[in-house]
Structure formats: C-alpha cells, structure tokens
Structure 1
Amino acid sequence: GGGAVAEARVVGRKGWLLHFRGQVHPGGHDYVNYSFGIRQEALSLFGGRTSEGLLVAEGHSSRYFEEMRNATFCAVFPGNGWGHIEAPILMGCIPVIVQDGILSPWEDTLDFTQLALRIPRAKLPQLPSLLRAVPESRVRAMQRGLANVWERFTYSSLAIAERERLERERAEREARCSAAGGGGHACSDDQPLPAAYMMHPALTGRDAIDTLMQVLKARLVQRERGTR
C-alpha cells in the first residue's frame, strides 16, 4: 500500500551529506547579484570538498537526479525560479532552504518543519556542521514527511486521467472486436501503455492541482467568515 511505499523512502543518512548543482554564473558572466550572491558564496565555501560529503558544483550532470537520490540534504538557493525545490522533494532529498524572505511552493500551506530545513543566509558558512548535527531520528522523520507529500509537487492527476482514458479505449476496442465475432487472443489488446503512464502504484491524484484547489477553498471560507 501507499504507507509501505512511503516507508521505503525512509532510509536515514545517505552517501552525500549535501548536494547542489546549478547555474552560478549564467551565460558565463560574473553576475554578482544573481541568486543574491548565495550560489556564488556556496560554491566558494563548499566547492571541491567532495571528500567531506559535499557535492556542490556549477552546471549540471547526466547523473543529476541519481546524485540527489544519494544525498541526505539538497540545497535550495534562489535562482531564476523559486529555488528548484521540487526536484529534491521528488528525489527524496531533504531540502535545505537558504533564501531569506522567499517562500517555496506550498511552504505557507504544508508544515515544512516536517520535511525541510530553513537556514538563515548568515549561517551559510556553518551549513555542513549544522547538517551533521541533525539527529538521525529527525532525518528519518523528514524523509517520512517528504514521502507523504511529494505528490503535491507533481501533476499526477493529469497522468492518471490519461492512463484511465487509454485503458478505457483499449477496453472499447476489445469489446468491438468481440461484438464483430472475434474472440480469444484475437481480441486481446496486448499493446503496452506508454511508459509515461506506467505510474507509481501509490499515486492518489492529490497533486499540485488538488492542493491549489484546497488552498483556494480555504481562502474563500475565510473570506466569507470575514464578511459575516
């Protein structure tokens, strides 16, 4: 069931202590204000320290997602978007948010204390020691938190609906074949569904769209109460 699948993601500390890859100097230019200077500072502080479990590098890698899956913590720094928090969450890597005054998606909706760390910019130089000091029990608790909410950062309901459509069309083709006098294996549609729709068995459809609708409904209720 979903609980067993979620629990399988709770593995404790992994190979890398901290992971970050991404743009630091967009277009090869020394944009000191890009990322408010946070990415540049992190690369200066932690780049080249892989022997200490810190994989902090500029650019991307063909093993990007594999690296995330094998890291306990993944840094979330400001960039062109909102810190790219979705990928760490989907990979089961505990987000470490370093972006003062900037909320990540759903941070004001979900209890982020159960699935992520938020570190003030001023403490960036202390980040490795802060992460090493996190108790194993809390690491596992946050991994469990990620396992319970990761679908909120996807559009799984769209994929589920598409898979249901494909399965319905397959059943209709087989029914028409049988009605036309076919039978047995001749009417069996063995064509596999596209790989994109062979989804995780624990998907529920409680995704980003569902979360947004819940937020809007809650705000509507608050607004109506405020007008009474």
Structure 2
Amino acid sequence: MSSELRTLQPRQRDTDLAFILRETELKPVPSVPEISLHMAEDAIALWETTERARGKAGLPPPFWAFAWAGGVAVTRYVLDHPEVVAGRTVLDVAAGSGLVGVAAALCGAASVRGAEIDAYAVAAIGLNAEANGVRVEGALVDLVDGDGDGADVVLAGDVFYERAMAARFLPFLERAAARGATVVVGDPGRAYLPRERFTALAAYEVPVVADLEDTAIKTTTVWRLGA
C-alpha cells in the first residue's frame, strides 16, 4: 500500500456520510461516556451491507462503526491524563471511528490527524469529531511505511490482532519513537504484541461487543513503546 494521500470525491464522500448516518446510531461509548460515536449494533449485518453498497465482496470489516477495546482503553487513558497530548500534534493511526483522536482533541491537542485506509472510516471520523464539538482531520492514507508523519504523539487503538498487521506496525511505531514521538497503544491481550518492548501504563476492564470478541469484558492494557 502506498503512503500517497487519496482524496475522496465530493459525491462519494456525501454518499458515505449518508450511509453511515443511516446504518448507525449516535450514542455514548461504554467506559468513556464523555464521547459519543456513530455506532452499529450488528457487525456481520453491517459488513454485508457495506459490501452491497460498494458492489464488491471482500471488503475489510466495518471497524469504524464500533468502539474497539484497545481504542477505548487508550481513550480512557488520554482523558484521564490530558498532559500526554495537550498542546502537541497527534496522529491517531488505524483510527477506525476516530475515537482516540476525538479524545486527544478534547484534551487540548494542538492538532489531530486520523489516518485510515477505509473511506467509510474517514467519513466516520469527520462525523464523530463534529458530534463531539472538536476538529480531527480524517486522512485516507497509509502511513505505516513512514515514521508517524512528524506527529509529537502517535496513538494506536488496536493494531496487533493479526501477524501480518503487527509485522508492519511494530517497525512503524519504532521509527516514530526513534525520532522522539511518544507512542501509546492499546491492547486487549492480542497475540502479536511484543510486550517486552513496551511499558504498561494502565489497565482497564472494557465492555465489548459480543459479535466482535470472545467475551463480554476485555482486560485491556495501555502501553508506551520503550522503557
């Protein structure tokens, strides 16, 4: 995948916004009721609906329509420790709904960018930021071959759930940390997080959607890359 920024055509953007508004409901996020998101109830049904809307099979799951445990934990940590992001430039990578980026903006970040490779997610980031009265720049771009695009803080809600994805994200996060960025990730016990390279900051019991996880509550840890 290229790091080239792709621009949504206005007609497609408007179509995606209408789709999200039709298929989701704006409601507070469990564990972080300070923030509301446009969320769906049924992951499988929405996934099938997105494929019909796009006219193609094999699309990625609708990560943008749910509050994933890793993102919820990072969000809770940021809201409770606003000094992590206050006055700093923030990149929310693999942003999904934009939950983590919204939290950073609420806590006084100088600017927040939510990077995603799913056009629906980029549209959702804008809607969710607006719903919470903040600005988050949604960008349709794959930045993982870089080093965090100059951000002071790089936040990742849940990126170690697959071996191939972890193999791309770990070097990216390490490059960001090497140039001086603060790197914080959330992880609900995924198999591919190399815990020996991280320092635990906090842990939370996070309610999760039954269709998406193997239990109703996930113990989720917030980690900082490095000692």
TM-score norm. by structure 2 comes to 0.29
Name whichever structure is richer in strand by fraction.
2
- Structure of higher CA gyration radius: 1
Name whichever structure is richer in helix by fraction.
1
